[in-house]
Chain A
Amino acid sequence: MAYSFPEEVLEHVFSFLSSEKDRNAVSLVCKSWYEMERWCRRRIFVGNCYAVNPKIMIRRFPEVKSVELKGKPHFADFNLVPEGWGGYAYPWIVEIARGYPWLEEIRLKRMVVTDESLELISKSFKNFKVLVLSSCEGFSTDGLAAIAANCRNLRVLELRECEVEDLSGHWLSHFPDSFTSLESLNMGCLNSEVSFSALERLVARSPNLKTLRLNRAVPLEKLPTLLQLAPQLVELGTGSYSAEIRSDLCSSLLEAFSRCKNLKGLSGFWDVVPAYLPAFYSMCPRLTFLNLSYATTQSPDLTKIVSQCHNLQRLWVLDYIEDTGLNALSMSCKDLQELRVFPSDPFVADANVLLTEQGLVSVSEGCPKLQSVLYFCRQFSNSALTTIAKNRPNLTTFRLCILEPRAPDYLTFEPLDSGFGSIVQHCKNLRRLSLSGLLTDRVFQHIGTHAKKLDMLSIAFAGDSDLGLHYVLSGCESLRKLEIRDCPFGDKALLANADKLETMRSLWMSSCAVSFGACKVLGQKMPGLNVEVIDERENLDSIPHNSPVEKLYIYRTVAGERFDMPHFVRTMGKDNRRFK
């Protein structure tokens, strides 16, 4: 074809493509499209910071405005990844600072971010607008002070579930008086008190502030003041929701809430004193997101709340809501899309609340739009699972955690194979699945056969043999993330499906039966994979090859093996002098 569209036209067309997948597809069409696309890609998402070298990224995509990186494996959230494993943001920040001076957004998840990194960010990007740190650690409030002081055009500062060294609350006061562009502030995970007057003044001079998530240290008495200053808020996270019962506080809270006509999302609610709950009842009909997972409120109050939230789309709540509350939810919240029920007392064997499988069954019956479920409970049955599957074939995320490992169907004492089998059979668009309870290889056979769109699978204390793993690796065509703990899966299945591993982002296996020898072989034969053995035992070199490793993390990469590992992490099968 002699003629083609002028570049400008194509660029314009490409500008409508926001999805990464689409852009990647476009860049494969031909060389000129590849060239054009790479110059106009503005957002990059790197799901594993060790999969690619930042220099490569910058070379290929020179004009990026937004970078998102993820570091540690998901199981790091549950203390399974030892400290010092890696996931350092600094090397990336250094390169990005050099390569993208006009960068506007940085989002990091599960990475180690130091104060140096934050300072570098604050000084390197003239037009920096968005900083979101999720489940990150390694920095202190000094780093935040640098961001506050230097990022003149900052719009979003969100710290989600980070571990921050709280040196002082003064960091907030570093935002200059001329700074008025703030749109979103999430400091919920911070422990220390910020100067309230500084916070007040900041809120007062931020007319575009839409999201404000306070930390627990902000007392309830201060909330009305803040709300008066920001009635335009769309998302609010309260601080501590507790105070002495005072009628004047009650009424000022009520009044302040009622002025917030745009409020759609509420969270926070630490230390709830029930007397103050009615203050936000008037907001309930407008709410689309409600996070009560820190609220130790009991079922009657919770039931009352959810019954009024007719437009609720996402609910995060503790198991205090009990089956009765979930039943009320199923009757009142027909728009519900996502439900997360967290355990109030996960380490106690006996149930302390009346939350059973019935609650989830009710919600699956009553909420036609339910797509995403995270549910912690103490008992489940195959029949309940099958009912849920038949009720809600539109489920895309199903994460069930029965607190007791290997708990069987409590009615029949059978494994829960058939129940989860029903889930994958009926829910054809299932993308994320977490298993629990007593499970044999059978369930993996079901998964391999039916879960063709499954993207992420989490397995714990399940299966009988390598066949289980083999079913999953050979059958799940879309699988990208697999995380396994305490299962009898060994070398055979892994080696037989080595090629599959290159089509996935990562595989985590801990307390399984994969041997050092197999890891080495895998690492040698698959240059596109880093096979990392994480093992903290002493005298590792004297452990025989056919002994199982403690933990294993395999990921595909074009960056080669990494060299920032602690002594207990080894990349197997490369020319590694440390471990033959």
Chain B
Amino acid sequence: MDVTLGLLSNSPAGDDGGGGVPSGGSTTAKSILTVSKEDNMNMVMSVEVTSSYPVDENLDDLELGLGLSIGGGVGGSGGGLKSKAVVAGPCWSQYARILTAKDFPSLVSKPNSSSSSSSVNIPNSSTSGTKRTAADSISPPNGTSVVGWPPVSKAHRIPSLANHTKSQTEELVSIPEQNKIKNKTNGIKDYCSERNGISFKKYRSVKVNMDGAPIGRKVDLNAHTSYETLARTLEEMFWGRRSTTEAMGSSRLLDGTSEFVLTYEDKDGDCMLVGDVPWQMFLTSVNRLRIMKNSESSELSRNQHETQN
């Protein structure tokens, strides 16, 4: 079944009466898009361009000059090519919508490259008025993400924007207080950066030092998804593998039964106990790890207690 969508019409110069119609103004261009279904469910568009712009350039008259003969019979008047237009045009939704591969996700296999799969999920917000909602436009109708848009290079994506609010102008807020504020709102920011799927640090190895051990180690945080696995790995690193019976239990570093305690230094240089904040938040703020003797850690918790008051 063929559906012909007549899009652009002959309209006088400049006066389009609003409403987001991508009309060519004073041109007499006509683009007729024919949507036709073919055998194996491939949505194919026939694009027939017949136009006579004021500059008298008629694309049909142009010699292709290369003996182009793209396979497949082309129906209709000369110059029509079958090509899949891959542009989703939500702005045309009132008039016509070009169906694209995105509407048939099963037909096109997903790209398997990691770098091109950085997905951006825009939370759909509703705005009033006749204007298309911004959210509708940034993400195509079926909610998939737009890779590489907006065109901000990695260097200019800000990893940790502490606040949406203007609390950064409260200059007299001390750093531990700022940390508390940051930790609360970082949750939101982490959500965004997680959804973005953009990793700001490609390699997430941090140094680990243990009190009393002369040589430090490095651990790759990307390889872990929880405090448990991290703590177990560290235990293995510094103490060797546990026996199978012990291995069933939780990490002694975390549950307080070891004479050592796991701490970390965050972005601000503060020493914090590992395990207090959600894992993702921890990932974005940790700079290095330290396995501290219990005796010292009690002083740490005392300090933390004091600054939090």
Contacts and interface: CB of A to CB of B under 8 A. Distances in A.
Interface string A476-519: 00000000011110111101101000000000000111110110
B168 A298 contact: yes
Interface in A127-160: 135
A200 B120 CA distance: 42
Contacts of B196: 347
Contact of B71 (A77, A297, A545): A545
A271 B113 CA distance: 33
Given A79-B118, A80-B148, A547-B84, A522 B57 contact: no
A486 B166 CA distance: 37
Contacts of B90: 406
**Could you tell me the dominant secondary structure of chain A's interface residues?**
loop
**Could you tell me the dominant secondary structure of chain B's interface residues?**
loop
B290 to A, nearest CB: 14
A489 to B, nearest CB: 10
A77 B155 CA distance: 9
Interface stretch (B128-136, B237-245, B276-284, B294-302): B128-136
Count chain A CB atoms within 10 A of each CB in B90, B118, B147 and give the residue with the most.
B147
Interface stretch (A27-35, A238-246, A282-290): A238-246
A521 interface: yes
B70 A486 contact: no
A333 interface: no
A496 B79 CA distance: 12
Interface in B81-115: 81-87, 89-91, 98, 108-109, 111-115
A563 to B, nearest CB: 20
B7 to A, nearest CB: 8
A496 B64 contact: yes
A536 B203 CA distance: 25
B152 A79 contact: no
A405 B149 contact: yes
Contacts of A547: 42, 83-84
B169 A298 contact: yes
Contacts of B233: none
B168 A513 contact: no
B15 to A, nearest CB: 10
Contacts of A342: 152, 156
Interface string A269-302: 0011111000000000000000001101110110
A438 interface: yes
Interface residues of A, number: 112
A376 B68 contact: no
B158 A318 contact: yes
Given A404-B137, A441-B24, A517 B71 contact: yes
Contacts of A318: 158
A511 B86 contact: yes
B106 to A, nearest CB: 13
A18 interface: no
A343 interface: yes
Count chain B CB atoms within 10 A of each CB in A347, A348, A464 and give the residue with the most.
A347
A78 B148 contact: yes
A310 to B, nearest CB: 24
Given A417-B25, A464-B22, A296 B158 contact: yes
A275 B171 contact: yes
Contacts of A487: 87
Given A513-B83, A538-B109, A546-B82, A161 B175 contact: no
A254 B67 CA distance: 72
Contact of A464 (B31, B79, B86): B31
Contacts of B155: 161, 189
A83 B133 CA distance: 34
Interface in B43-72: 44, 47, 49, 51, 53, 55, 57, 59, 62-68, 70-72
Nearest to B268: A242
B120 A347 contact: yes
A201 to B, nearest CB: 22
B122 A348 contact: yes
A487 B86 CA distance: 8
B249 interface: no
Given A166-B205, A465-B47, A495-B66, A486 B87 contact: yes
A546 B148 contact: no
Given A245-B174, A513-B86, A495 B68 contact: yes
B37 interface: no
Given A78-B148, A349-B134, A470-B57, A406 B86 contact: no
Contacts of A378: 134
B8 interface: yes
A296 B151 contact: no
Given A496-B62, A517-B70, A465 B108 contact: no
A112 B138 CA distance: 32
Interface string B141-182: 000001111111111111011111010110110110010000
Contact of B64 (A294, A492, A537): A492
Interface string B203-229: 101000000000000000000000000
Given A296-B161, A347-B196, A438 B70 contact: no
Contacts of B192: 345, 347-348
B12 interface: no
A329 B201 CA distance: 34
Contacts of A191: 201, 203
A522 B66 contact: yes
Contacts of A460: 149, 151
A414 interface: yes
A544 B81 CA distance: 14
A490 B83 contact: yes
A243 to B, nearest CB: 7
A167 B16 CA distance: 60
29 contacts: A79-B118, A80-B147, A82-B111, A163-B154, A240-B267, A274-B169, A275-B172, A300-B169, A346-B157, A349-B134, A349-B135, A401-B150, A434-B151, A442-B24, A445-B53, A461-B87, A464-B8, A465-B29, A490-B47, A490-B85, A492-B59, A492-B81, A493-B59, A513-B84, A521-B67, A521-B70, A536-B113, A536-B116, A546-B71
Across the A-B interface, the 3 shortest Cβ-Cβ residue pairs? A78-B148, A82-B113, A349-B134
Interface of A: 75, 77-84, 135, 161, 163, 165-167, 189, 191, 217, 219, 240, 242-245, 271-275, 293-294, 296-298, 300-301, 318, 342-350, 352, 376, 378, 401, 403-408, 410, 412-415, 417, 434, 438-442, 445, 449, 458, 460-461, 464-467, 470-471, 474, 485-488, 490-493, 495-496, 498, 511-515, 517-518, 521-522, 525, 536-539, 544-548, 550, 568
Interface of B: 7-8, 16, 18-20, 22-25, 27, 29, 31, 42, 44, 47, 49, 51, 53, 55, 57, 59, 62-68, 70-72, 79, 81-87, 89-91, 98, 108-109, 111-116, 118, 120, 122-125, 127, 130-131, 133-135, 137-138, 146-158, 160-164, 166, 168-169, 171-172, 174-175, 178, 192, 195-196, 201-203, 205, 267-269, 287
